[in-house]
Amino acid sequence: MKTVDFPSYTVGPGALEELGRVCAPLGTRVLAVGGKTALDKAMPGLRRGAEAGGLTLLGPLWYGGDCTAAAIADVSARAADRGAQVVLGVGGGKAIDTAKAAADRLELPFVSAPTISATCAAMTDLSVTYDGRGVFAGFHFCKRPPAHALIDLDVIAGAPARYLRAGMGDAVAKHYEAAAAMEGDLPPYESVLGRAVSAACVSPILTYGARALADCKAGKSTPALEQVALASIVSTGLVSLLVEEEYNGAAAHALFYGLTLLPHIEEQFLHGDVVAYGVLVQLALLGHPDLGKIQAFFRGLGCPTRAADLGLTLDRQALAPVLASTLAQPDLRHYPHPLTPDSLWGALLAVDAL
């Protein structure tokens, strides 16, 4: 038996001011947890929304800087101490994932307020955790997804455009990974539906991505920006909720997690930018006909499209631990194509040869 729960969402300029309407049925004591800059940008709108809805807005509480087991435990304890009835995650993926996992531990409703369009964390029922050194540690699977996501386009338009760009890389990966992981299977209905939805992770981005990036650089909330934000946050989130876990990732994300062994990856690059490079590697592994098209699109956005763009030298001995870690990642346990260190290395070389 399978139950699929979907979060609802509000999108548009000023969406944060809908906090009262959204949270009132869930609880009146709402703890805002997030990144420092994100909270600074979002709190004025959230306070207006809380006041209009008769809520007590607790915090703001900094999430700790990384989604680690220690940070999740700390936020859980502080939320319990303050008598929170609802946890509100504000910021990017790591902030939202920390707050989400804390709410899950306390069995409290969770609402997300993404301040950047960089990942689908605002809609999904899992949190990606790290070990405190920036190395991928695992997944925290929540019992349910967020109750609602408040996607304020004014806030997203005011964020650095590189986050929007990274979100596009992450979203495009969702389609190619889900499709590749399902090859040769007879997936259940929900996964078939998720694969169909995944097309909406690519088409709007290829159509509106360049325009949306220019609008974001100009600080403008526009229809193009909305299309890209919804593809990056909502469409990708719905795919994650619909497909079976073994279809929820493939070589692009596995390579990202493998590359986190290198400290400079987490320190210098955004998740979605590294995943964009991983998409190219996966397409090269499969000999996919879209490789040239997607590489040209990513290059136009400014995403990494070769090893040097990520500060990597293609030295097989130096990258051997990365190759081994990539092949051991959970995202490749169900991968239907044979993968070896040789084939993965060959795909890295092929992407650079383009």
In the chain, where are the structural domains located?
Answer: 8-157, 161-353
User: Tell me, what's the pLDDT at 16?
Assistant: 98
CATH architecture for segment(s) 161-353: Up-down Bundle (1.20)
Q: Give the model's confidence band at 189: pLDDT under 50 very low, under 70 low, under 90 confident, else very high.
A: very high
Rounded average pLDDT over 163-180: 96
Q: What Å distances lie between residue 145 and 20, 142, 344, CA to CA? A: 20, 7, 34
Rounded average pLDDT over 10-36: 97
Over the stretch 106-138, which tens digit does the pLDDT of each residue have?
999 999 999 999 989 999 999 999 998 888 899
User: Tell me, what's the pLDDT at 135?
Assistant: 86
CATH number of 8-157: 3.40.50.1970
User: Tell me, what's the pLDDT at 147?
Assistant: 98
What is the average pLDDT score of the chain? Answer: 96
**∠ CA(277), CA(112), CA(110), 5° rounding?**
125
Residue for token digits 């959204």?
22
Q: What percent of the chain has pLDDT over 90?
A: 94
Kindly give the pairing relationship between strand 136-141 and strand 126-130: antiparallel
User: Tell me, what's the pLDDT at 2?
Assistant: 78
